[in-house]
Copies of this chain bind each other. A is one copy, B any other.
Amino acid sequence: MSKALFFHAGCPVCVSAEQQFAAALDPARYAVEVVHLGEQKSRIAEAERLGVKSVPALVIDGQPFHINFGAALADLK
| B contact residues around A24 at 8 Å (CB) | 4, 25-26, 29-30, 60
Interface residues of A in 3-43 (CB under 8 A from B): 4, 17-18, 20-21, 24-30
Distance in Å from the Cβ of A48 to the closest Cβ of chain B?
Answer: 17
Q: Which residues of B contact A26 (CB under 8 A)?
A: 24-28
Q: How many copies of this kind of chain does the complex include?
A: 2
- What's the least CB distance linking A36 to chain B, in Å? 19
Report chain B residues within 8 Å CB of A25.
Answer: 24-26
B61 and A20 form a contact (CB under 8 A): yes
**Nearest CB in chain B to that of A26: its residue:** B26
Q: Can you name 5 A-B pairs with beta carbons within 8 Å? A: A24-B26, A24-B29, A25-B26, A26-B27, A66-B67
